[in-house]
Amino acid sequence: MSIPNNPKSNLTVNEAIERLSRLAGDDRIAVPYDPGIVTIGGSSSTPIVDIFAGFDWDHGTVFFQTGTRLGVIGDEFQRLKEHLMVATEALAWIGRQTNDKRLDQKEKLSVIKRTLEQYRVRVNKLDSIQPADSDVH
């Protein structure tokens, strides 16, 4: 797949319209991506299914919506996602218990300590898991 090197960082709507006007009107629009493996044939891509203007913090930006949500992939991303899930669960539990009016301060502190110990154990287990042979590329 050949992706042109454009020294300009962002394409404007006017520039996109000018470039698109030179193409066939029935051509499909897609976003190319690197599948992480060597492929034969057409470029790996995902189709654009909608175009919409950003709002609020994204005002002044035009988004191309693909059929699937784009994101980071791979073992590192999965590991970080699992760590985040474990941390979120621990924080939610601590928040719930510290807001429990039936517990005194000493009991709340005990809950926090136990939850943090359990969190460390869970994170250590996650860090000790090696990817299966089929997961290694």
Residue 129 in this model has a pLDDT that exceeds 50: yes
Residue range 49-103, pLDDT digits in tens: 999 999 999 999 999 999 877 776 677 777 888 888 899 999 999 999 999 999 9
pTM of the model as a whole:
0.46
CB-CB contact of 111 with 97 (8 Å): yes
Percentage of the chain modeled with pLDDT above 90: 47
If 0-12 CB within 10 Å is exposed, 13-18 middle and 19+ buried, where does residue 108 land?
A: middle
Q: What local confidence, expressed as pLDDT, does residue 134 receive? A: 40
pLDDT of residue 83: 87
Sequence-distant (6+) residues with CB within 8 A of 47 are 28, 29, 30, 66, 67
Does residue 69 contact residue 104 with C-beta atoms inside 8 Å?
no
